[in-house]
Amino acid sequence: MQIDALTNPFIDPSLLQAAVAAMHEHNRNPDQQQLFNVAVTGAAAGVLALVTSVAGASRTFFGGSVPYHPAASAAFVGHKIAKATARKTAIALAESARRQAYDALEHFETGTQPTINGLGLTAAIATDRRRKGADVVYIALATSAGIFVIEAVFARESWTREEQDLMCQALAINAMLFALGLPQVPIAETPSTKGFFSCEKAYLDQNIEGRRFTLRPTRWLPAFETEITADELFEQPFFALNGERYPFIPENHGRYCEIGTSGRPLTEGHLWLGDTMCALEDLEPIYTLERQHPDKGPVAIDELARRAYEFRGRANLLLTDGESFYADKARNRPGMIFVIGADVAEKLLSPQNPRRDADLAIIREHGCTFRVFPRWKSDGTLERLTDVEHRLGVTADPAIFTHVESVPPPVSSTVVRAALGI
């Protein structure tokens, strides 16, 4: 399907073609040339034609493979694949593509060897048969700087197979642009792309309508190699963005803000909050995962470890145990700025909350404050702090609560869980 045949195009075809031309032009300089060896397992196979359709492709494109059948994929990576559509599979494809390209160059007289990047893509998209599991895509880049991954899920009812395939192609092109350090092609949020969820989305603007995004691939960091105990998990509960672990939050001269989340799952909406606080107040975000849920009880350690892994390479994470309420957090981290939505502000301010006065007094005593973002309601309307105040008939203490005007993307964890089938 051609890009210009879409009813609501999310990619400008001329920009996509221009981006491919920019890659080829960039690689004209031998000192910065990087070739790509690409392996896709079906979806987005058209990206091979797209890259080679523009003059100068030999400067960018080493080769491409479509190991579509599971046996072909296994042969390509050199071992049995546990799951066809998975992060590990995309990484194996990318690493094998890069290794095979370098092996081939060893037997070919080319003078100075160019830098090779491997790109692996595997996806499960709409089909003509019943299929278990979500519609997802995994992309991996194997580069000299490390491995980077892109993961996304499609809300099945919002997409046709042709649109999903085209999005996969666009993601692959943007991944290549990222590897080369070139500007990516903006993807517009349309009725379709609002049903496209990825922690690798990087929003370019604050518009409520017509937001655009590019990719921020995540540096891949290995998971825990063995089962982990509660003591091992909480001995070093701070997981830094770079993958390092610490028994405490590293010093940052009070320039942190804290964003609480269940991590079920981590979404681009959560990461947008951190990006926005960094842009607005130059604050480094820390996400917190609390083991003890005040209503649902404790989270199992293996599940907590699984959720923690989703933050690795994406954000700073602090695991907490016994901090079910913001008063608990304030006692442990005086002066912290907490980032919340209007729905959480409502719980804190509600006259029906028996803890309200005591908790707010503790928060005030320890010098903590809140930044309150608007919250999308299930009916598609926005609720702000002022709306909460009006409905409850209360006035939030301006020394503690500050309304933030920036409107988050309309991403619901509930909707993402439904798309993932969890």
In single-letter form, the type of residue at position 367 comes to G
Residue 217: the pLDDT is 97
Please give the angle made by the CA atoms of 130, 135 and 138, to the nearest 5 degrees.
135
Sheet containing 238-239, strands listed edge to edge, beginning at the edge strand earlier in sequence: 245-246, 238-239, 316-320, 284-290, 256-260, 337-341, 369-373, 401-403
User: Which of the listed CATH numbers 1.10.150, 1.25.10, 3.40.50, 3.30.450 matches domain 230-411?
Assistant: 3.40.50
Question: Where are the chain's structural domains?
Answer: 3-219, 230-411
Nearest-10 crossing angle of helices 161-180, 13-26: 30
User: Can you tell me the mean pLDDT for 116-143?
Assistant: 90
Distance CA 270, CA 287 (A): 9
Which tokens is 213 given? 């995004």
Q: In 3-state terms, what secondary structure has residue 246?
A: strand
CA distances (Å), origin 351, targets 364, 382, 404: 18, 22, 23
pLDDT interval class at 297 (50, 70, 90)? confident
How long, in residues, is the chain?
A: 422
Query: Is the preceding omega at residue 265 within 30 degrees of 0, hence cis?
Result: yes
Whole-prediction pTM: 0.92
Domain 3-219 identical in fold to domain 230-411: no
Residue 65 pLDDT greater than 50, yes or no:
yes
For the 3-219 domain, the top CATH level (class) is alpha beta
pLDDT digits (tens, 9 = 90+) for 192-207: 677 899 999 999 877 6
Residue 368: the pLDDT is 98
pLDDT digits (tens, 9 = 90+) for 146-181: 999 999 999 887 888 888 998 999 999 999 999 999
Asked whether the beta carbons of 97 and 120 are under 8 A apart, the reply is yes
In single-letter form, the type of residue at position 118 comes to G
DSSP letter string, 74-137: HHHHTS--S-SSSHHHHHHHHHHHHHHHHHHHHTS--SSPPEEEEEEEEEE---SS---S-EEE
State the pairing for strand pair 61-65/34-40: parallel
Which tokens is 337 given? 């700025």
Helix (H) or strand (E) holding 309: helix 301-311
User: Can you tell me the mean pLDDT for 232-240?
Assistant: 93
In terms of Cβ atoms closer than 10 Å to its own Cβ (0-12, 13-18, 19+), residue 238 is middle
Distance CA 33, CA 109 (A): 17
In terms of Cβ atoms closer than 10 Å to its own Cβ (0-12, 13-18, 19+), residue 268 is buried
Q: In 3-state terms, what secondary structure has residue 285?
A: strand
Residue 270: the pLDDT is 95
